[in-house]
Amino acid sequence: MSRYITSSAIRGAHGVVEQAEKLYKETLKALGPDKEVAFPNTTYYLPVIYTLTGHKVQKIADLAKPLELAKSLLAPVPDEHLWVPYLGEALDAGAATLFAEEIIEGIRFAKGEQPEAKNGFKFNGPIDDVQMRAWGIQMVDGRMPGFAAVIGAAKNNEIAVKIVRELQSKGQLVFFSGTTNGISIVDQLLESGVDLGYDTFTVPFGSDTISTVYGLGYASRAAVSFGGVTPGDFRKILLYNKFRCFAFALVLGPIDDLKWATGAGAINYGFPAICDTVVPNVLPTGITKYEHVVSMPFDDIPGKDDMERAERLVQRCIEVRGIKIKVAKVKIPVAFGPAFEGEVVRRDNLRIEFGGKGGMCFELLRMKDKDEVEDGKITLVGPDIKTFDVGAKVPLAIIVDVAGRKMQEDFEPVLERQFHHFTNNAEGFQHQGQRDITWIRIHKNAVDKGFKLSDIGEIIRTCLVNDFGAIVDKVQVTLYTEPEKVKELIEKARVIYNERNVRIAGLTDDAVDTFYSCSLCQSFAPNHICVINPERVGLCGAYNWLDCRASFEIKPSGPNQPVAKGQIVDAEKGEWAGVNKFAYEHSNMAIDRFTLYSVMDAPMTTCGCCECIMVVIPEANGFMIVSRDDYGMTPSGMAFTSMMSTAGGGQQTPGMMGHGKYFLLSKRFISAEGGLKRVVWMSKNLKEELGEELKEACANIGEPDLIDKIADGTVATTVEELLPYLEEKKHPALTMDPVM
């Protein structure tokens, strides 16, 4: 490595380690050795320290060990003019820097100084475990190809926005930290009105360089959580990241010693740095997959203006890290990419809306003969957006006709449900609901940039052909805004929706002889396999039986394979010989039995992305169910994240099982143990979300008041509080057969 960089990095490491030591000594005196040190909502302690060394920091006194380790990794600062033959000392200094930075952030949390708040803006601080898991699936299925740590500030606000938009439209998760001459890119983005937060794939860690360590903590946890690496196995953590985690740093503005030292820490993980200033290039590959440090002075980048230069800069980052982007090229006047999926169009920015309360908007996909569909034809019947007043609520019908040799009627709802995901990728476009409860809101800026109704058709057509080209050959879209016409068409659509409901309701486990598997999660939970039957969704909630069947038709070698039921072994527990055989063969021979209707005997395996997890409460003769959005304590003595660390790595744990939330509404829901009547406690948000449907399911089993009898976090967070509540409400579980 360049002598200059090596000596800077080592000097920076000395500085930050000294800073950590001083802070540690002061805090030890001020707060005592037992003061708690913890990042919020994580089971990985201080994650870089924990995953690389196996050491669990829980209180101030626990910081002594990593501090000593950091000091032991520091070589003397070499002379800038001496040749340094190898990277080792700089890399060690990098590791020492990360330990010191994490110690400093840990102490800041202990002192109540994190997450940072500045000028009324609250930074995010570290990413919590729940969000990490949610993003985990997107990393695995390729929707989110990598992440970028942007450090410092851009030359001006306009360039800052352009860089971030480019990264977002390439599906990158973007982290922000550090400043350049006292300005952070977060300031620049906020001044330009850019929405920051988990929903838009942007995470402002903090305003200083030290907070960059949160990004490495995220990468470390990914290796443990998705890669199954044991904490303490630092070699495997670093290798996992080098090969599986497509991250890089984009360093904007001049680089000081601390930035070099932090960068050396990141290079340990295989994450290269691309700098927009003149710095020595470190090109030989080895630790990173390609180059280590690439200098790309902003003003020297070829391009007709700064916007084009910003685009090229981001393009270069993607190449250096070897990231493959598979984002559909959609020809519309606004940006398009997964980063815009969670965007919300607020009242002040609303140009026009369709549907929602008191409105009328629906979408319908129909299968047609190939002669009836003219591919690429997009028609608008009625006036376009610009003719309506700002903020108007207008009726809209979106009718999509598709044809394809392998298309089947059963795929219609599967494809139709994708519209939500497709259209939300457009910048300034918000889509909610489905069928005749669709609600669309469009941002003023999008319309100013030229967004028209036909662009909705353009998005749907391009995405259908890209993602479902195996079953869809031709797509034609017709949109209507004339109230009379929409009204007439919505009635016809409702007849079709109803026919579909009847068809799906008739789809029972007994009515089919094939179930489907899903092995998508095996990349991070190697022994995990989902078997999905018509009456049970996958535990992540994202795949039902029809989806899997469609997916198999589309990609026969894909993650969803048919599972022949075979001989019935136990009808009550839902055990079939064919399912057992399949589970055995596809779980690395870790599981030899799989029941579909029982949680006590050979339940399905659980992976990190389950929507809910249930666990037996023997004292109450029943089960409690926690949803992943519930951060609170539960009567099992564990919160959701701790339950996940017990059961979530793809294990089969009798008495404990992850499941999708809609499984609760199924007739087959733990029917071997007595079904819904066994549920004694449930997260409040789950009760609310399932609302009417849950009431109906309770009524169907002859227990219309069951929801009131089921406790939640507002009445009980311990078994001691739970039992009297169940007694008082006369919960049916109390008089059922013993559960164990």
Q: Per the structure block, which two tokens stand in for 165? A: 């938009």
48 binds, among ligand SF4, Zn ion, none (CB under 5 to 8 A by kind): none
Per-residue H/E/C for 205-221? CCCCHHHHHHHHHHHHH
User: Binds 543, which of ligand SF4, Zn ion, none (CB < 5 to 8 A, cut-off by type)?
Assistant: ligand SF4
Q: Could you say which of 313, 609, 617, 739 contacts Zn ion (CB under 5 A)?
A: 609
**Residue 139 interacting with Zn ion (CB under 5 A):** no
Closest separation between CB of residue 583 and Zn ion, Å? 16
Choosing among ligand SF4, Zn ion, none, which partner's interface includes residue 53 (Cβ < 5 to 8 Å by kind)? none
In the complex, minimum distance from the CB of residue 410 to ligand SF4, in angstroms, rounded to a whole number: 19
Q: What is the nearest approach in angstroms of Zn ion to the Cβ of residue 594?
A: 16
Judged by beta carbon, residue 660 or residue 732, the one nearer ligand SF4 is 660
d(CA 172, CA 175): 10
- The rounded distance, in Å, linking the Cα atoms of 432 and 434 is 7
Say which entry of Zn ion, ligand SF4, none residue 539 contacts (CB below 5 to 8 A, set by partner kind): ligand SF4
Smallest distance from ligand SF4 to CB 64, Å: 41
Please report which helix (H) or strand (E) contains residue 491, including its range. helix 483-505
590: amino acid identity, one letter = A
Decide whether 48 or 604 has the Cβ nearer to Zn ion. Answer: 604
Give me the phi and psi of 191, to 5 degrees please. -60, -30
Closest to Zn ion by CB, 115 or 559: 559
Query: Which one of Zn ion, ligand SF4, none is in contact with 646 (Cβ closer than 5 to 8 A by kind)?
Result: none
Nearer to Zn ion by Cβ, of 23 and 518: the residue is: 518
Cβ proximity to ligand SF4: between 613 and 726 the closer is: 613
Rounded CA separation 523/228 (Å)? 9
User: Is 74:14 a contact under the CB 8 Å cutoff?
Assistant: yes
Q: Which residue, 597, 522, 525, is CA-closest to 561? A: 522
Given the complex with ligand SF4, which of 48 and 604 has the nearer CB atom?
Answer: 604
With H, G, I as helix, E, B as strand and everything else as coil, classify residue 93. helix
| Closer of 376 and 558 to ligand SF4 (Cβ) | 558
**DSSP symbols for 410-435:** THHHHHHTHHHHHHHTBTTEEEE--G
> Which residues 6+ apart lie within 8 Å of 87 measured at CB?
1, 6, 267, 286, 287
Can you read off the two tokens belonging to residue 49? 């320290």
Strands 439-443 and 350-355: antiparallel
Closest approach, Cβ 134 to Zn ion, in A, equals 11
Rounded to a whole number of angstroms, the minimum distance from the CB of residue 540 to ligand SF4 is 3
Q: How far is CA 383 from CA 379, 386, 394, 483, 487, in A?
A: 11, 8, 10, 11, 16
**C-beta of 282 vs 609, nearer to Zn ion:** 609
User: CA-CA distance, 24 to 46, in Å (whole number)?
Assistant: 15
- Sequence-ordered alpha helix ranges (H) in 348-410: none
What is the closest distance, in whole angstroms, from the C-beta atom of residue 568 to Zn ion in the complex?
Answer: 28
Q: What are phi and psi of 11, to 5 degrees?
A: -65, -45
Distance in Å, CB of 609 to Zn ion, minimum: 4
CA–CA dist 525, 711 (Å, integer): 32
At its nearest, how many Å lie between ligand SF4 and the CB of residue 228? 15
* Binding-site partner at residue 147 among ligand SF4, Zn ion, none, CB < 5 to 8 Å by type: none
Q: Which of 352, 607, 612, 686 binds Zn ion (CB under 5 A)?
A: 607
Cβ distance to ligand SF4 smaller for residue 336 or 640: 640
Binding site partner of 287, from Zn ion, ligand SF4, none, Cβ cut-off 5-8 A by kind: none
Binding track, positions 43-82, relative to Zn ion; x by CB under 5 A = ----------------------------------------
Q: Contact residues for ligand SF4 (CB under 6 A)?
A: 518-521, 530, 538-540, 542-543, 607, 609
- Cα–Cα distance between 408 and 403 in angstroms, integer? 9
Degrees, nearest 5: CA angle 26-30-32: 105
Strand partners, 148: 174, 248
The answer to whether 659 and 612 are in contact (CB under 8 A) is yes
- Please state, in angstroms and rounded to a whole number, the distance separating the CA atoms of residues 87 and 361: 61
Q: Strands, E, within 187-313: which ranges?
A: 202-204, 247-252, 273-275, 293-295
Q: Give which of ligand SF4, Zn ion, none residue 538 binds (C-beta under 5 to 8 Å, depending on kind).
A: ligand SF4
Which of ligand SF4, Zn ion, none sits in contact with 542, Cβ below 5 to 8 A by type?
Answer: ligand SF4
The single-letter code of the amino acid at 538 is G
- Six token digits for residue 645: 């660390």
Name which of 489 and 532 has its Cβ closer to ligand SF4: 532
In angstroms, what is the minimal distance from the CB of 312 to ligand SF4?
36
Burial status of residue 296 (CB atoms within 10 A of its CB: 0-12, 13-18, 19 or more): buried
For residue 107, the partner it binds in Zn ion, ligand SF4, none, with Cβ less than 5 to 8 A by kind, is: none
Distance in angstroms (rounded) separating the CA atoms of residues 154 and 191: 13
SS3 476: strand
Binding mask 288-317 for Zn ion (x = CB under 5 A): ------------------------------
Q: How many residues bind Zn ion (CB under 5 A)?
A: 3
Which stretch in 20-28, 258-266, 345-353, 604-612 sits in contact with Zn ion by CB under 5 A?
Answer: 604-612
CB of 237 to ligand SF4, least distance (A): 23
Cis omega (within 30 of 0) for bond into 115: yes
In the bound state with ligand SF4, the residue whose beta carbon lies nearer, of 154 and 607, is 607
Residue number with the smallest Cβ distance to ligand SF4? 538
Q: Which does 626 bind (CB under 5 to 8 A by kind): Zn ion, ligand SF4, none?
A: none
Name the residue nearer to ligand SF4 (CB basis): 6 or 595. 595
Query: What is the closest distance, in whole angstroms, from the C-beta atom of residue 44 to ligand SF4 in the complex?
Result: 21
Q: Which is nearer to Zn ion, 237 or 607 (CB)?
A: 607
Q: How far is the CB of 340 from ligand SF4 (least distance, A)?
A: 23
Distance CA 198, CA 132 (A): 10
Binding mask 493-532 for Zn ion (x = CB under 5 A): ----------------------------x-----------
Rounded Cα gap, residues 477 and 626, in angstroms: 42
Is-contact 142 177, C-beta < 8 A? no
The nearer residue to Zn ion, 428 or 648, going by C-beta atoms, is 648
List residues near Zn ion by CB under 5 A.
521, 607, 609
